[in-house]
Amino acid sequence: VTGWDDIRDEALGADAADPLRHLRERMALPAGVAYLDGNSLGPLTHAARDAVRRCVDREWATGLIGSWAEGAWVDLAPRTADRIARIIGAPAGSVACADSTTVNLHKALHAAVSLAPGRRRVVSVQGDFPTDRYVTARVAADRGLTVDQVPAGDVAAALDEDVAVVSMSHVDFRSARIADLAGVTAAAHAVGALAVWDLAHSAGALPIGIAASGADLAVGCGYKYLNGGPGAPAYLYVAPRHAAAETPIPGWFGHTDPFAFGEAYAPAAGARRFEAGTTPVLGTTALHAALSAFDGVGMDALRLRGMELTARLVDLFDVHLAPLGVTLQSPRDPGVRGGHVMLGHPRARELVRALAAGGVVGDFRPPDGLRFGLAPLYTTRAEVVRLARELAALLA
């Protein structure tokens, strides 16, 4: 019988042979902690710490207002957006970096509804992330449309010529199931509807190919796998063919020339019009720097690494956790499983707390979920083994 020490040693060997192991050194992770919650709040990067210090001490303390004019801040948001664009597979200029995911979804849905005039229905997904359901319901009501919430797998079947917009997450925040981005988008287009996607739980964990998917608009989060820091700015993608789409918040930062202080609103080209107010410089500085942790690595290579990590956890679950009453709430097929794994147990809340007390940090998701984000940039195989081992010990 293979003991836990042998399992750990095999994992340590695989970690040592991993050609991507240097990426972890870009993160400022606390010693001794297995941080498996990067899909809720990504860890600090050395680059973000340095950049925020520089921004505070030099650009703010000394440069003051001159830091706008001299260029450090004026195009910080579009430079950050272009880094995100590479990670989600979008052309430069098609992504705006601004606001929260919630606010960006509000803007994206208004834009999408305006691009599908005369239609009366919006289709969204039961059990989707709360903010997505709240915002979709609000925008639909404000525009005189009704919302149908259907199971994620039934979206295509719910479409007809009266649907203006489909609004859904790419990766489910509970189960980690990956939706059929291109397939649902094509089904929406076949009836003349638009597809608006939330990439919060996929960007930075898997290649998205948002432009190649045909998606109309998309939004996502800066503080999860992108490691932008607590409350980091979020982003909004708009397909280049919709470059004339209208934002419901025509703010001065989305103007073609904000510092001309023009009388009339003239929207900037492309995604930049979806910026509303002034760039949140400290947060965007952190996000911009944090995104450099993805430099020199392809999302396909990260995806393979991530699939190996989640498959390892599922294998350990089968042998060591299922017999102790734990269930698997994520798909078995790694091809449709995102960057996290959801386990289930009636005492999930206590277990997550006890794991954290021992230095293994995951998430409790009501009612009975233990959720572990195995961020492919820095999670190690040894950490996955440590999680399974400590969970088994707690249950025993």
* Nearest in space to 339 (alpha carbons), one of 364, 365, 304, 369: 304
Looking at 11-19, 65-73, 99-107, 210-218, which segment touches ligand PLP (CB under 6 A)?
Answer: 99-107
Q: Is 100 in the site for ligand PLP (CB under 6 A)?
A: yes
Query: Which candidate in 129, 225, 253, 274 is catalytic?
Result: 129
Can you tell me the distance from the alpha carbon of 24 to that of 97, in angstroms, rounded to the nearest whole number?
Answer: 25
Q: Among residues 234, 236, 286, 314, which is the contact residue for ligand PLP, using CB under 6 A?
A: 234
Assess whether 142 carries a catalytic annotation.
no
**Spatial CA neighbour of 217 closest among 38, 88, 26, 359:** 88
Looking at beta carbons only, is 169 or 247 nearer to ligand PLP?
Answer: 169
Q: Which residues pair with 364 in a beta bridge?
A: 370
Of 173, 223, 225, 294, catalytic? 223
Query: According to CB under 6 A, which residues from 162 to 201 bind ligand PLP?
Result: 169, 173, 198, 200-201
Are residues 83 and 288 in contact, defined by beta-carbon separation less than 8 angstroms?
yes
Measured CA to CA, the distance from residue 243 to residue 284 in angstroms comes to 24
Q: Can you tell me the distance from the alpha carbon of 77 to that of 332, in angstroms, rounded to the nearest whole number? A: 39
* Start-to-end Cα distance in the chain: 18
237 is a site residue for ligand PLP (CB under 6 A): no
Distance, CA of 210 to CA of 143 (rounded, Å): 27
Let me know if 223 is a catalytic residue. Answer: yes
Tell me: does residue 278 bind ligand PLP (CB under 6 A). no
Nearer to ligand PLP, 98 or 370 (CB): 98
At residue 177, the 3 state secondary structure works out as: strand
Per the CB < 8 A criterion, the answer to whether 207 and 88 are in contact is no
Q: Given 26, 224, 272, 386, which residue is catalytic? A: 224
Query: What's the CA angle centered on 89, arms 86 and 91, to 5 degrees?
Result: 70
107 classed as catalytic: no
Query: Is residue 41 a contact residue for ligand PLP (CB under 6 A)?
Result: no
DSSP code for 294: G
* CA–CA gap between residue 286 and residue 281 (Å, rounded): 9
Q: Decide: helix, strand or coil at residue 288.
A: helix
Q: How far is the CB of 236 from ligand PLP (least distance, A)?
A: 11
- Per the annotation, the verdict on 37 as an active-site residue is no
Out of 63, 68, 92, 131, the residue judged to bind ligand PLP by CB under 6 A: 131
Using CB under 6 A, pick the residue from 67, 80, 94, 101 that binds ligand PLP: 101
Window 198 to 217, contacts with ligand PLP (CB under 6 A): 198, 200-201
132 binds ligand PLP (CB under 6 A): yes
CB nearer ligand PLP, residue 67 or residue 124: 124
Find the catalytic residue in 37, 82, 128, 198. Answer: 198
Active site residue 371: yes
Binding site for ligand PLP (CB under 6 A): 100-102, 129, 131-132, 169, 173, 198, 200-201, 221, 234
The residues assigned a catalytic role are: 129, 198, 223-224, 371
